Structure 1
Amino acid sequence: MDERRDPQPDADSRPPLVAAHTRLSPIQEAWGAYARHQLHCRQCADLDGGPCPIAGQLRQAWENLTQEAFRRLAGESV
């Protein structure tokens, strides 16, 4: 049985919602750009055609960011 709370909360008792202003990491943003391109590019979607040069550049940017992050985690100089 659903029991009511006593007293009922006011309709205005909730705090106002606040929009979160967050960003993805640069690596996540780079991967997202690559994935979005892959989904919308006709050449990339063609199984026989292979990825286009733009997809190659986007993937290379993602790989560079990833390698730089691994180097920084390992404590190597960039």
Structure 2
Amino acid sequence: MDEPRDPRPAADSGPRLVAAHTSLTPIQEAWGAYARHQLRCRLCADLDAGPCAIAGQLRQAWETLTREAFARLAGETA
């Protein structure tokens, strides 16, 4: 016989599609910049030298964005 063995799935049963233009949040972007720098910087990779000034600035930017986001969630700022 030519009949399929399993029932066909419904047309809308697949996973939801994500738009191609979806971007990360500013906090995720800031963390990504910090992480990418840490992985590529020779000074940051040296355990004895510690993070460089650029890494410090990138981390500070991430921390500032995070603090501001938590403050907004807590209703401390508009």
Q: TM-score, normalised by structure 2?
A: 0.75
Cα deviations across residues 14-60 of structure 1 (Å, max 9, x unaligned)? xxxxx611100000000000000000000000010000000000000
**Cα separation, 2, equivalents of 1:24 and 1:53:** 25
* Fraction of identical pairs, as percent: 81
Alignment partner of 1:76: what SS? coil
Alignment partner of 2:57: what SS? helix
**Cα separation, 2, equivalents of 1:4 and 1:47:** 62
1:55 aligns to 2:61 (yes or no):
no
State the number of aligned residues: 65
Q: TM-score, normalised by structure 1?
A: 0.75
Unmatched 5+ stretches in structure 1:
6-18
Alignment partner of 1:62: what SS? helix
**Cα separation, 1, equivalents of 2:73 and 2:41:** 34
